[in-house]
């Protein structure tokens, strides 16, 4: 199957005409159509766009038992001219197939992922909110479908894309606890992949931090809990003595975020020195004691840039005046200006529908 127009079955009972765009919470509401493709006998087939609806799986379905499942998260926006644009989906496509390889799943052909996404969004363009900071969240995912309880790679899969409108993602500044016991990812493990189990496994340590008044944890390396890695489901950036430092991805325990990559490029253009390297908790605490630790923030597709007002290492508390932040708000504005078309997209990051 090469590039082609994907057959569409229209939803005869669409929600869009009566949908209240002012009440859009992330992740709860989905558009009228979805894309589905099946993998059988070594090939992708049955690529269709059809009404969004539940579907059946066998109770022995491999995904339900062994977690052979991967996903991506991407956003589409209306720019200041009302045109629909997607932010860097080619990067998500590449990462999806990296995740697929690690989880012993078949690669998805580029045309199904990219053209499928574009055709689906073209059909659902009315669902892209027309408000600043609001977006249409795009969730491509793949699941193993074999009805078989043996632990081996499935021979059948489903690839799907679903879309959900998402309001201006207001997130209050976060309070973060540096994790000293649990781990998100290990060298040789699956931390660089967006596979379901990584997120299921993070819920318990995060719930413990929440019981103690924190919103999320700052993950540290699995071996010594000495080096910082990520904050929740976001990459993390530190501003220490005017320099930006973000954890290195070279051990495979830090997910290579598209927002992280974009932020590094933009911050350098904005004149900052950016270091990608291992950063220890000891160095952070030492910088704080010397008054050199200026900012810490999360970067990821969902919230773009998330401010952090408190970072704690055990009893040692580091507080930040969110009103006085410089780098994080400037980066957020720069990214938004590119997405909205207020400034030239010189890196060709936007894909027009």
Please check whether residue 78 is in contact with residue 130, taking contact to mean a CB–CB distance below 8 angstroms: yes
Q: Please say which residue, 108 or 234, places its beta carbon nearer to ligand PLP.
A: 234
Of the candidate residues 33, 194, 251, 310, the single one contacting ligand PLP (CB under 6 A): 194
**Residue 301 is a binding residue for ligand PLP (CB under 6 A):** yes
What is the widest separation between alpha-carbon atoms in the chain? 64
Minimum CB–partner distance for residue 289 and ligand PLP (Å):
29
For position 235 contacting ligand PLP by CB under 6 A, the verdict is yes
Min separation Cβ 206 and ligand PLP, Å? 12
User: Is residue 341 part of the contact set for ligand PLP (CB under 6 A)?
Assistant: no
CB 196 within 8 A of CB 231: no
Which residues touch 89 (CB under 8 Å, ≥6 apart)?
A: 74, 113, 114, 117, 138, 351
Compute CA 305 distance to the chain's CA centroid, rounded to the nearest angstrom. Answer: 12
- 263 scored as a contact of ligand PLP (CB under 6 A): no
Among 14, 73, 189, 196, binds ligand PLP (CB under 6 A): 73
User: Cα dist. 74→41, 167, 226 in Å?
Assistant: 30, 14, 32
CB of 1 to ligand PLP, least distance (A): 28
Choice from 234, 240, 244, 303 touching ligand PLP (CB under 6 A)? 234
Residue 193 engages ligand PLP in binding (rule: CB under 6 A): no
The answer to whether 144 contacts ligand PLP (rule: CB under 6 A) is: no
Options 6-14, 47-55, 230-238, 342-350: segment touching ligand PLP (CB under 6 A): 230-238
| Residue 44 or 192 having the CB closest to ligand PLP | 192
Given 230, 281, 313, 339, the residue binding ligand PLP (CB under 6 A): 230
**Min. distance of Cβ 254 from ligand PLP in angstroms?**
7
Nearer to ligand PLP, 33 or 194 (CB): 194
Tell me how far apart the terminal alpha carbons of the chain are, to the nearest angstrom: 23
* Contact flag: residue 69 with ligand PLP (CB under 6 A): no
CB-nearer residue toward ligand PLP: 145 or 178:
178
- For residue 11, state whether it binds ligand PLP (rule: CB under 6 A): no
Q: Which is nearer to ligand PLP, 119 or 259 (CB)?
A: 259
Which segment (17-25, 28-36, 229-237, 243-251) binds ligand PLP by CB under 6 A? 229-237
Q: Binding to ligand PLP by residue 255, rule CB under 6 A?
A: yes
Measured between alpha carbons, how far is 48 from 29 in angstroms, rounded to an integer? 21
Give the footprint of ligand PLP on this chain (CB under 6 A): 73, 194, 230, 233-235, 255, 257-260, 300-301
């Amino acid at each position: 199957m090469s590039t082609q127009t994907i057959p569409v079955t229209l939803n005869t009972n669409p929600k869009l005409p009566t949908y209240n765009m002012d009440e859009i919470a992330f992740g709860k509401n989905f558009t009228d159509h979805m894309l589905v493709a099946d993998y059988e006998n070594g090939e992708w087939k049955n690529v269709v766009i059809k009404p969004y609806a539940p579907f059946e799986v066998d109770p022995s379905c491999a995904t339900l038992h062994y977690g052979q499942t991967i996903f991506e998260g991407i956003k589409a926006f209306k720019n200041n001219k009302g045109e629909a644009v997607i932010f860097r989906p080619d990067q998500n496509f590449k990462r999806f197939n990296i995740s697929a390889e690690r989880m012993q799943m078949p690669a998805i052909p580029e045309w199904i992922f990219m053209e499928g996404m574009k055709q689906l969004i073209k059909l659902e363009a009315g669902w892209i909110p027309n408000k600043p900071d609001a977006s249409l969240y795009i969730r491509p995912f793949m699941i193993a479908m074999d009805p078989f309880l043996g632990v081996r790679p499935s021979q059948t899969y489903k690839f799907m894309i679903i879309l959900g409108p998402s309001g201006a993602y207001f997130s209050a500044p976060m309070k973060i606890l540096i994790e000293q016991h649990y781990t998100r990812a290990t060298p040789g493990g699956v931390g660089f992949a967006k596979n379901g189990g990584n997120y299921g496994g993070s819920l318990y340590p995060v719930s413990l931090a929440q019981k103690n008044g924190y919103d999320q944890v700052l993950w540290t390396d699995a071996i010594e809990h000495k080096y910082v890695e990520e904050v929740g489901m976001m990459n993390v950036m530190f501003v220490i003595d005017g320099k930006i430092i973000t954890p290195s991805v070279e051990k495979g325990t830090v997910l290579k975020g598209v927002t992280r990559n974009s932020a590094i490029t933009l911050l350098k253009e904005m004149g900052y020195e950016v270091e990608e390297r291992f950063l220890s908790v000891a160095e952070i605490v030492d910088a704080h004691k010397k008054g050199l630790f200026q900012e810490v923030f999360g970067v990821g597709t969902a919230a773009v840039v998330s401010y952090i007002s408190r970072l704690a290492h055990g009893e040692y508390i580091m507080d930040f005046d969110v009103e006085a932040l410089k780098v994080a708000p400037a980066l957020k504005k720069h990214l938004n200006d590119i997405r909205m078309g207020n400034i030239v997209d010189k890196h060709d990051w936007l894909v027009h529908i």
